[in-house]
């Protein structure tokens, strides 16, 4: 169990009021974790702003997509994002439940700037039977800005 980390506390509320996850999103993730036997491995697609890494204050990663298997995560990271200063990383994480709320089972570095709420919001987007979310390539929050900044893997291309 990771040490107390505020980023691993899921805050539920209406979207747009400082909360990333709704009760329905949390329930969808609880269902996935339960179906996986209490621990679910996900592969996060993390965005690095190369300009910020090179000329700013360091390397920071933000979760922009999630897959339920490594192959789909790599395929998602390989989509043409058309962002000159972007680099994509794929990293596995384990999810579980604490007090019936989703948590990341292992600690993660502060340079990986995301919360369990971000993970829940993106993971809940994956439909039942699906294996991968969309990839957010532009600014904004994942489920709140659909449009040209969201890329998807082609249907039936496995």
pLDDT at 158 over 70: no
Residue among 121, 145, 113, 129 at smallest CA distance from 29:
121
Residue among 6, 81, 5, 78 at smallest CA distance from 49:
81
According to the model, what pLDDT value does residue 110 have? 94
CA distance 90 to 146: 22
For residue 34, what pLDDT band results from cuts at 50, 70 and 90?
Answer: very high
According to the model, what pLDDT value does residue 67 have? 98
**Domain ranges across the chain:** 6-133
Condensed to tens digits (0 to 9), the pLDDT of residues 39-77 reads 999 999 999 988 888 888 889 999 999 999 999 999 999
Residue 93 corresponds to which tokens in the numbers above?
A: 């994480």
Condensed to tens digits (0 to 9), the pLDDT of residues 113-152 reads 999 999 999 999 999 999 999 998 866 555 554 444 778 8
Structural Rg of the chain based on CA atoms: 15
């Amino acid at each position: 169990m990771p040490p107390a980390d505020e980023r691993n506390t899921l805050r539920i509320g209406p979207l747009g009021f400082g909360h990333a996850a709704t009760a329905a999103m949390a329930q969808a993730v609880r269902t996935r974790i339960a179906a996986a036997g209490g621990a679910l491995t996900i592969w996060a697609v993390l965005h690095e702003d190369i300009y910020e890494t090179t000329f700013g204050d360091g390397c920071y990663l933000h979760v922009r997509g999630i897959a339920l298997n490594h192959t789909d995560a790599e395929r998602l990271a390989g989509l043409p994002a058309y962002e000159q200063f972007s680099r994509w990383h794929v990293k596995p994480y384990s999810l579980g439940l604490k007090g019936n709320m989703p948590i990341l089972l292992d600690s993660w570095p502060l340079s990986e700037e995301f919360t369990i709420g971000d993970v829940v919001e993106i993971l809940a987007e994956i439909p039942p039977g699906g294996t991968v979310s969309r990839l957010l390539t532009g600014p904004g929050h994942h489920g709140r800005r659909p449009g040209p900044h969201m890329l998807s893997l082609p249907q039936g291309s496995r």
